[in-house]
Structure 1
Amino acid sequence: MGNKQGELETCVCLQGYDLIGITETWWDSSCDWSAGMEGYRLFRKDRQGRQGGGINDQLECMELHLGMDEEPTESLWVRIKGRAGAGDIIAGVCYRPPDQGDRADEALYRQIGAASRSQALVLMGDFNHPDICWRDNAAECKQSRKFLDCVDDNFLLQVTEEPTRRGAMLDLILTNKEGLVGDVKLKGSLGCSDHEMVEFRILRAARRAHSTAQHSKLTTLDIRRADFGLFRDLLGRIPWDKAWKEEGPKTAV
């Protein structure tokens, strides 16, 4: 990020992002907190034992420490307090190295499981599973299949639809709430990076309005307008089992 800081600040100024997640910054102990941008609060996690995001100040937020006693993972979790009448959002940023071992993978999956129990989760990052076919929910290698199991077990939705690096979909956006994330777009690369930037919106208000409208529609159903004649006709066409007709239904209490 050292040689991309100016371009990033220009991009942020033009777009007015509330939340920015960055992986593979290659920052180490020589980079102090002045690397943050004005108007944003920086949350940072450097690699441990390897060669080495920000949130708008107007949002009330705090870092979460998930799985601190486990195998170290390159993941960062922040709780963003919702505005009046809205629940909190957990935002996660993750980088999974291509050579990450099974123990670190399992630790990451436990963190994802803990975060997914929140009311609203948005998890973004580079997970390095190029062999996953999200359309068929299938993968070739064992590690990718385990990642798909984690996604399924925690009822997560993957909303990135286009390749983000050389024809591969490495950079993903996962959420545990349908309709929470929308307007996903690729925005080109930052500097000489070979990854595409991914832009999206958190559509909490739109989802809430949609849910309210849907609920109103359901509560206005009028049973007096039902076609009971058609209902009886459809029931009469069911090929009931002969034994059921002769003996009657079996019930248990």
Structure 2
Amino acid sequence: MSGTVRGAHGRLSFASLGSGSKGNATLVSDGETHLLVDCGFTLRDTERRLARLGLHPRQLDALLVTHEHGDHVRGVGPLARRYGVPVHLTPGTWLSGRFGELPHRHWITPQARFAVKGLTIDPVTVPHDAREPVQFRILAGERCLGLLTDLGHPSAHVVEAFAGCDGLVLECNHDPRLLAEGPYPASLRRRVGGDWGHLANSQAAWLLQRLGLDRLQRIVCSHLSDQNNRPELALEALLPLLDGDESRLRVAAQDTGLAWQTLG
């Protein structure tokens, strides 16, 4: 186990196995309970990425699924079957038929709080082109982490639900100019840039401003498109809101993810 996640109960740590169109997975831990949110990598790749962060799959207490798109669920079934990890997902996500047998399946009801050992989870409905998508607020003691990726626009419901977090993993999927001039066909450009697709950097900045910055210790730009965005553009959009304080801002990369971050 990494020393970073052996903190006192009530502290909240998180890390990214990788984030982007080729695979997404986020670890959340209070030092005793370990959650994996989504698993968009092959089983072997997931094992390798977990080991890089000091965790073995048998230490996972649960796997939470946001929605059924392949870059979020590719490894869910294999990981659950190999290691007996309980999977929490909405009925709509399950009905996509992309999981195979899940030995320990638990339903998520959007807007209905539940707990996994020492961590409390609020699943929040978001606007995205999936069957029954949710994102999560995860709480340990007085600390709260918001995981907010894969949404087409920052709805009033999302603003209300994710206000007051101590940490935020926030989608910065694309730069509108790069999307418009990029290689995607017109239909895919409309999907990505539409109200049920993905957040542009400017939309992420708009949302962040309305969520409030006072409590936020760490903001992580996530789910960056390798075709339609660049890390410097995402940072450039958010940094003015922080008065140039780069210490609060990180980027979760596709290949290397993000090392453990602790909300103390």
Is TM (by shorter chain) over 0.5?
Answer: no
Structure-1-length-normalised TM-score = 0.43
Structure-2-length-normalised TM-score = 0.41
* Structure with the largest fraction of strand: 2
Question: Rg: which structure is higher?
Answer: 1
